[in-house]
Chains A and B, each alone.
Chain A
């Protein structure tokens, strides 16, 4: 309690207090493989004189590592899983960080004719009906959770020979879709950063950033691991990290990060009108 209090009061001297410490961040392959995380972490390390250990896992695995108290802060993109993490008491002080969107990537000859479909659910239904190859992450990642939600919304069953669960990261799945070739759901960031390696597939259905379906929105959140549950986590440093990411400086780094001149992530932490729902699980009420 005293330590936590000192942490709060000592904000002005925060760099001196946390100097030389190590922060463990578990995160998704999408933030890591796009290179954004290295950019952000380098700036944070520079500013505070600390070391960041970034472990790229899927959203499910990243949260699980936090649950065991093996990481200090988690940066992921599946709100339903984040909410579960908060409700169970493992995570606190969640902040909306940034967003990009998902896109449906598919073969250039587009065998199912989903090209430029307005509705992603129509596109998924068309893929299922024609039984065209679809490569799924199948790894409980944020992208996988989103994909399953879309199948659900489309009222289609992803079952059969054509539906392949890769159990791999986004980059690997994009490679598989490219080699097959087949369809897949990808976050725009990873797709753009890997676009030059993909010669058989390209975007078939756009996400909301390019005016596509709102269902394809991809918001990222950052959550500290609760020091009340795991006393060994480095909570002070975790909060400094969240503070840095959601500051104006953090916003600038995220905003300016681009590949081939294309912005990959859109910061949403800094706002004149804060969205209070970001701090608590969905539908949370004081009666709980």
Chain B
């Protein structure tokens, strides 16, 4: 008799009998993934639009102080995210220069700080890729009578895998950093448990703080899987030559 659990009882339990009970609410994790992706992908998109022209410009031209500028960009690649968070905090805080925009504790502020983090990485790696192909290919393109634009296009085409690597590295830096988004985003969730400015990384930090290591580990696995998935997709679309 006891074995015959009726469907009514199963429904009353509120859980699907086929699934193992998860140690979290799915809409909590789902909203965190959404915020993480929204913030980091937007930041990387904007960074790419800013970084590529800079990389081309610097890579294709010679000017005094170029070495210093490249050193500056490379330094930016390793800039500590908490420091970026602090700087953005003071910029968007009520008393800061952009205080009137009311950006503190919003995803916009988080995007801003991740742009500052990702842009040097994308610029730096793209620049290396562009200058890497410069010598042989550019000379050949010139020798074949190409215009300046032709040469630039050929170079970009040759450097595209390096550029894609740079964008992926920028995304990796953005989505995995915890310092700046915690400071400027505030790790906020609504009272019903869905994320406002809580990302995978800040959620992991919070769950670990509260001793829920199991959920923290699951979120960590989700983060790694996401990054892996994005990398796989990009490489597949790019013809997997890397």
User: Which A residues fall within an 8 A CB radius of B?
Assistant: 24, 29, 33, 37-39, 41-42, 45, 51-56, 68-70, 168-169, 171-172, 174-175, 193-194, 197-198, 230, 232
Cβ of B93 to closest chain A Cβ, rounded Å: 5
| A198–B212 CA distance with the chains assembled, in angstroms | 11
Cβ of A176 to closest chain B Cβ, rounded Å: 11
Nearest 8 Cβ contacts at the A-B interface: A197-B211, A42-B191, A69-B94, A55-B186, A41-B191, A171-B209, A172-B209, A171-B210
Given contacts A45-B191, A68-B93, A70-B94, contact A55 B105 (CB under 8 A): yes
**In the complex, are the beta carbons of B105 and A53 less than 8 A apart?**
yes
**In the complex, are the beta carbons of B209 and A168 less than 8 A apart?**
yes
Note all chain B residues with C-beta closer than 8 A to A39.
191
**In the complex, are the beta carbons of B104 and A70 less than 8 A apart?**
yes
Contact string, B117-129, partner A, CB cutoff 8 A, digits 1/0?
0000000000000
8 Å CB contact of B191 from A52, A171, A174, A197: A52
**In the complex, are the beta carbons of A70 and B191 less than 8 A apart?**
no
Given contacts A194-B210, A197-B211, contact A70 B187 (CB under 8 A): no
| A39–B192 CA distance with the chains assembled, in angstroms | 9
**In the complex, are the beta carbons of A53 and B209 less than 8 A apart?**
no
Note all chain A residues with C-beta closer than 8 A to B187.
55-56
| A174–B208 CA distance with the chains assembled, in angstroms | 11
For the A-B complex with A53-B105, A169-B209 known, give 17 more contacts whose Cβ atoms are closer than 8 Å: A38-B193, A42-B191, A53-B196, A55-B105, A69-B94, A69-B95, A70-B105, A171-B211, A172-B208, A172-B209, A175-B208, A193-B210, A194-B211, A197-B211, A198-B211, A230-B94, A232-B100
> Any chain A CB within 8 A of the CB of B46?
no
| A230–B210 CA distance with the chains assembled, in angstroms | 34
| A55–B102 CA distance with the chains assembled, in angstroms | 15
Q: List the B residue with the shortest CB-CB distance to A71.
A: B105
> Any chain A CB within 8 A of the CB of B190?
yes
Q: List the B residue with the shortest CB-CB distance to A46.
A: B191
Cβ of B116 to closest chain A Cβ, rounded Å: 20
Q: List the B residue with the shortest CB-CB distance to A57.
A: B186
Contact string, B163-207, partner A, CB cutoff 8 A, digits 1/0?
000000000000000000000001110111100100000000000
| A221–B48 CA distance with the chains assembled, in angstroms | 47
**In the complex, are the beta carbons of B209 and A197 less than 8 A apart?**
no
29 contacts between A and B (CB under 8 A): A24-B105, A33-B209, A33-B210, A37-B191, A38-B191, A38-B192, A38-B193, A42-B191, A42-B192, A45-B191, A53-B188, A53-B196, A55-B105, A55-B186, A55-B187, A55-B188, A69-B94, A70-B105, A171-B210, A172-B209, A174-B211, A175-B208, A175-B209, A194-B210, A194-B211, A197-B212, A198-B211, A232-B99, A232-B102
Interface size on B (CB < 8 Å)?
22
Q: List the B residue with the shortest CB-CB distance to A194.
A: B211
Note all chain B residues with C-beta closer than 8 A to A70.
93-94, 104-105
Note all chain A residues with C-beta closer than 8 A to B93.
68, 70
Contact string, B60-101, partner A, CB cutoff 8 A, digits 1/0?
000000000000000000000000000000000111000110
Cβ of A259 to closest chain B Cβ, rounded Å: 12
| A225–B149 CA distance with the chains assembled, in angstroms | 58
Most buried by A among B99, B187, B191, B208: B191
**In the complex, are the beta carbons of A232 and B190 less than 8 A apart?**
no
Most buried by B among A37, A45, A68, A232: A68
| A225–B105 CA distance with the chains assembled, in angstroms | 17
**In the complex, are the beta carbons of B208 and A232 less than 8 A apart?**
no
| A193–B209 CA distance with the chains assembled, in angstroms | 12
Note all chain B residues with C-beta closer than 8 A to A193.
210
